Amino acid sequence: MMIERLREYVGAETPTGDAAALNAFADRLGTRYAELGGTVRRMPTPTGDHLVADFPGRGPRATEAPLLFLAHHDTVWPIGQLQGAMPWREQDGAIHGPGVFDMKGGLVVFETALEQIAGRDHRPLRIVVVADEEIGSPSARSLVTAEAKGVYAAFGFEPPHPNGDLKTSRWGSTRVRIEVTGREAHAALDPASGVSAIDELVDQLIAVRRIVADHDEVLCNVGTITGGGRTNVVPGSAAADIGFRFVDPATEESVLRAVGELQPVRDAQLAVRVLSNRPAWQPSAATDELLAKVIAAGRSVGQEVGGAAATGAADTNLTGWLGIPTLDGLGPLGKGAHAVHEQVIAATLTERADLVAAIIKTI
């Protein structure tokens, strides 16, 4: 049953920014959560609706603080990927397909865990499913932080570490765009009157590299560069989107301040703006205590669970940054997030559902 539902979910392709596809998938999730006893709310945005579902507690624990679960229904893959380079495929115990690992497998795990706890006493539960997580959740940050108020703990359904360990902290992640406006001119007849926005952007990216080199443990990836139009025209505009990862808030503040203070080296205009930001979620005693409880829950269903820090960012950065005990990585084991060989190990779907059900029953 889990594999059939996962195939259904993977078959509904949901690239970030495709509001129609994302909203159709949110319809599916909303219907499913209602069937499982949830009260569903939609949070409309122009690029796709976010979903919140509250499931009441049961028995003497019905009035306790809720557990919060964080997930997303967008993927990095365009419509048509399923019919092209990444068809659904079950082979040698693995399931392949766009979004199967990041993170529609986690969505199926949560639903199955809800089925398993039917009739059992537990805290209230809340899940927030975000439509733009793959680009840093720019429209969902306020929603996640608002829905996290008063919860007992937060859990994410992102993929785990390769060995199955949960994620106990995450580096901060910030997306920055550098935009340059130069001055167009004929590249052969009047080059001196032009100002190359591309040349200026190249110099600014070299300056960014120097800033990063002055700080320890910073990851920097220039993800996109755009600009210009014709080789016989001095380019009048150029831009680059940069992804930064930071181990701690102090490093993040220092790097972003320096990048924001960049100055043009020629007669060009320079604009630097933050597109999205997830602050660093640092290790804490509260998360260590939560992990100990999850380890005990895992042993109750015959599983050994571990935890370790992670460099990748997700919406759990927000709850961890707020000081809420947080763990991520409850999705099934697999590999290839954001790669054409994306896959999950089929047997770990049920294992993860068993673990999540045990967490809900015991924590």
Integer Cα distance of 294 and 338 in angstroms: 28
Question: So what's the pLDDT on residue 289?
Answer: 98
Q: What does the pLDDT average to over 14-35?
A: 98
Domains and CATH numbers, the chain: 2-171+281-362 (3.40.630.10), 172-278 (3.30.70.360)
Question: So what's the pLDDT on residue 326?
Answer: 98
Question: So what's the pLDDT on residue 293?
Answer: 98
- Give the confidence band of 52 by pLDDT, cuts at 50, 70, 90: very high
Give how far the C-alpha of residue 219 lies from the chain's centroid of Cα atoms, to the nearest Å. Answer: 17
Q: Using one digit for the tens of pLDDT, what is the confidence trace for 130-146?
A: 999 999 999 999 999 99
What percent of the chain is modeled with pLDDT above 90?
99
Residue 140 gets which letter from DSSP?
Answer: T
- Give the confidence band of 185 by pLDDT, cuts at 50, 70, 90: very high
Q: Using one digit for the tens of pLDDT, what is the confidence trace for 88-138?
A: 999 999 999 999 999 999 999 999 999 999 999 999 999 999 999 999 999
pTM for this structure? 0.92
Integer Cα distance of 211 and 260 in angstroms: 11
- Give the confidence band of 193 by pLDDT, cuts at 50, 70, 90: very high
Angle formed by the axes of helices 197-213 and 249-260, nearest 10°: 150
Residue 200 corresponds to which tokens in the numbers above?
């200026």
**Mean of all residue pLDDT scores within the chain:** 97
Question: So what's the pLDDT on residue 341?
Answer: 97
What percent of the chain is modeled with pLDDT above 70?
100
- Give the confidence band of 265 by pLDDT, cuts at 50, 70, 90: very high
Residue 314 corresponds to which tokens in the numbers above?
């997700």
Question: So what's the pLDDT on residue 196?
Answer: 98
Residue found by looking up tokens 């630097």 in the block: 272
Q: Which residues contact 83 (CB under 8 A, 6 or more apart)?
A: none
Handedness of CA 165, 348, 102, 115 (dihedral sign): negative
- Give the confidence band of 328 by pLDDT, cuts at 50, 70, 90: very high
Question: So what's the pLDDT on residue 87?
Answer: 98
Q: Using one digit for the tens of pLDDT, what is the confidence trace for 275-304?
A: 999 999 999 999 999 999 999 999 999 999
Q: What does the pLDDT average to over 187-200?
A: 97
Integer Cα distance of 244 and 236 in angstroms: 26
Question: So what's the pLDDT on residue 14?
Answer: 98
Q: Which residues contact 113 (CB under 8 A, 6 or more apart)?
A: 353, 354, 356, 357, 360
Integer Cα distance of 105 and 331 in angstroms: 6
Q: What does the pLDDT average to over 153-169?
A: 98
Q: What does the pLDDT average to over 61-82?
A: 98
- Give the confidence band of 75 by pLDDT, cuts at 50, 70, 90: very high
Dihedral, 282, 283, 285, 287 alpha carbons, nearest 10: 90
Q: Which residues contact 259 (CB under 8 A, 6 or more apart)?
A: 176, 178, 208, 211, 272
Residue 58 corresponds to which tokens in the numbers above?
């049961």
Question: So what's the pLDDT on residue 108?
Answer: 98
Give, in order, the Cα–Cα distances in Å from 269 to each of 183, 187, 266, 272: 10, 20, 9, 10
